[in-house]
Structure formats: C-alpha cells, structure tokens
Amino acid sequence: MALHYLGLNPNSEDKGDLKKAETMVRAVRGNYKYFHNGSYRDDLANGDICVALGYNGIVLAGSAIAKTIDPDREIAYSIPKIGSLIWFDVMAIPADAPNPDGAHEFINFILEPAIGSSISNMVKYAVPNLGADEFVEPEIFNDPGIYPSDEVKETLFALNAHTQKYDRILNRAWTNIKTNR
C-alpha cells in the first residue's frame, strides 16, 4: 500500500522503492497503535481503535459486533480513493490429492450460484460467480465496500509473487518497522 500511495509500482522489487516506502511508513509509525491483522475486528468493535487497514469482511464483522455492544456505534468500510490491494480466495487441488474427483465435486458445489451466494451472505465477501448475483442479499450486493463500482475496480491492484530474495528483504524491512528498529 505504501508503494502505491507513493505512486510507485506496488509490485516493484527495486530496493530504492522499498526504502522510500519504508521511510514513509516510519515517518507516521507513531500514529499507529499496532501492526497486527488478528485483532482489529474486536478492537474496532470495542472502540479501542478508530481506523484499520483490513479486509472488508472482517471490518463488517466488527461492525456487527459493535452493534451488539452499542446500537448507535457506526463502523464503515471504504476503499481509499487512490485505490487498494485487491485480493481473492482460490480453490486448488494439489497434484497428489488423495481424492481429486471429490475435490472437483466440492468445488463445483461451491460454484453453484445458490451455494456461493449463501456463503457471501454469511461472510459479507463478494462472490465472483456472476450467476450468484441474483441470490446475494441486496444489502450486501449494493454495498460498495463489498461490490465496488467499475470505476473503483479500476483503482485496485493485485500483488504478484515476489522472488525469495526480495521476500527476505521485504520481511526484514517490515520487521524493522514493526519493532521500531
């Protein structure tokens, strides 16, 4: 996200680009309570934090929890105007799977529009199966944080796999940021 914010290629493996992003994040590090992706749902719900960079479904789950604590508490998910990382789940069958036929049956089952939409309705993540759209609850289907407009989709980017060498460099930089070294 920092590379993208700086107008750099988010998939860059250039050490100079990474240094610019690291410098920028370090400059605002004091404004962050923590760097962790496992507790922001509950911390948002409890009011312990007011902003998080996170997955839409987890933020929306935090919103639902918050409503049980205080019906007036509002937690919203939005995609930054500059764009954001897009992510998606993938179903794959390992080459040495003990039951590939069963795995194919399971994937086909999940891809059934009524099944995929029921999962979407529960977890509040978009279902990529266009045939399922008619079964998705309108509240979810019309939420731009779950189903962004085509205009917003144009600002989203996916991350490529990095080389192992760059992963080590990136992980070292991230660890140094988190530990303030």
**In this predicted structure, what is the pLDDT of residue 25?**
94
pLDDT attached to residue 88: 85
Please provide residue 85's backbone torsions phi and psi, each rounded to the nearest 5 degrees. -70, 135
pLDDT at 104: 98
**pLDDT given for residue 127 in this prediction:** 92
Do 123 and 75 belong together in one domain?
no
Do 172 and 129 sit in the same domain of this protein?
no
Signed CA dihedral, 49, 55, 153, 23: sign only: positive
CA distance 18 to 8: 10
The answer to whether 111 and 99 are in contact (CB under 8 A) is no
Q: What's the pLDDT at 138? A: 97
pLDDT of residue 128: 87
pLDDT in tens, 76-96: 999 999 999 998 888 999 999
Give the residues of the chain that fall short of pLDDT 70: none
Query: In terms of domains, do 107 and 161 share one?
Result: no
pLDDT at 36: 81
C-alpha distances out from residue 10 to 5, 18, 22, 158, 167, Å: 9, 10, 13, 8, 14
CB-based contact 62:41 (threshold 8 Å): yes
DSSP state of 173: H
pLDDT at 180: 84
Q: Which domain holds residue 141?
A: 89-146
Counted domains in the chain: 2
- In this structure, are 100 and 69 located in the same domain? no
- The predicted-structure confidence for 44-62, as pLDDT tens digits, reads as follows 999 999 999 999 989 999 9
Residues 70 and 4 in one domain: yes
DSSP 32-50: -S---SSSHHHHHHHTS-S
pLDDT of 114: 96
End-to-end alpha carbon distance in the chain: 21
CA-based torsion, 10, 13, 17, 18: positive or negative: positive
Same domain, 180 and 140: no
- Same structural domain, 141 and 160: no
| Claim to verify: residue 29 and residue 78 sit in the same structural domain | yes
Same domain, 174 and 137: no
